[in-house]
Amino acid sequence: MRELILNNFLIKILSLFFAIVLWFFVTSKGKLEVNFNIPLELRKIPSSMVVVGDVTDYIDVRLKGRQSAIEGISSGQISAHIDLSNANHGENTIYLSPQNIIVPPNIEVMRISPKAVRLKLEPLVKREVKVTPETAGAPAMGYRLKGIEVSPETVTVEGAESAVNRLSLIKTEVINLSGMNKRETFLDVNLNLYGRDIKVLNGGYVRVKIILTK
């Protein structure tokens, strides 16, 4: 009797094992896993802060789903984002999870690389800086430069605290004086930011008056 019970128990265990194997086979049949490289969007950056330095702008995700669904996916249907509303000044490490990835229905996010993103936030500040005209060349023969008036003489710049604090003045783009022969010349001249990640709040240009004398 005991032997019969033991045999029945073993048969049930084996039956359960094969049932589980069969279930995995059936449910996984016809499914694919595909890698996508998608842009990473930064959302809800606090209005008093700005992201500085290099930031990961693309991530790799591995998706799984039925063949018909996977083959119909385009990169435009997948997006990734991180919420920075609770980020702090300085270095931040944001860990990515499937909740950061938007995918079509019935698609699973199997893997994300990198698993975390590091970024730095600084206070967003404003500052008044002096505008200095930058010139090249010489007026026509018989004339010399008497002076250059700039309006406005100062502009307000806005950007990350470290970038703005390093800025003592801002130059105009080069004003070519070559061949000028008028006593007064008025020009609208753009400001030269030299690739700095800052913004000029008055429109990015000034009015200059070039005064020549004989």
Question: Do 126 and 157 form a contact (C-beta atoms < 8 A)?
Answer: yes
Do 86 and 107 share a domain, yes or no? yes
Do 40 and 82 share a domain, yes or no? yes
Question: Domain end: 51, 84, 114, which one?
Answer: 114
Question: Domain end: 58, 88, 114, which one?
Answer: 114
Query: 0.85 cut: is pTM over it?
Result: no
Residue 7 makes CB contacts below 8 A (sequence gap 6+) with: none
Question: Domain end: 114, 139, 174, which one?
Answer: 114
State the sign of the Cα–Cα–Cα–Cα dihedral 8, 10, 11, 15.
positive
Q: Residue 11: what pLDDT?
A: 54
**Alpha helix segments (H runs only) across 48-196:** 67-71, 161-165
> Count of domains in the chain?
2
Do 136 and 208 share a domain, yes or no? yes
Show the domain range for 45: 30-114
Do 137 and 209 share a domain, yes or no? yes
Query: Does residue 1 belong to any structural domain of this protein?
Result: no
Q: Residue 67: what pLDDT?
A: 80
Average pLDDT per 10 consecutive residues for the chain, totaling 214 residues: 49 51 46 89 94 92 86 84 93 95 92 95 95 94 94 95 92 94 94 88 91 92
Q: Residue 115: what pLDDT?
A: 95
Do 93 and 55 share a domain, yes or no? yes
β pairing state of 184-192 and 169-176: antiparallel
Measured in whole angstroms, how far is the alpha carbon of residue 1 from the centre of its chain?
A: 73
Q: Residue 4: what pLDDT?
A: 43
**Alpha helix segments (H runs only) across 50-176:** 67-71, 161-165
Q: Residue 14: what pLDDT?
A: 54
Do 91 and 144 share a domain, yes or no? no
Q: Residue 24: what pLDDT?
A: 47
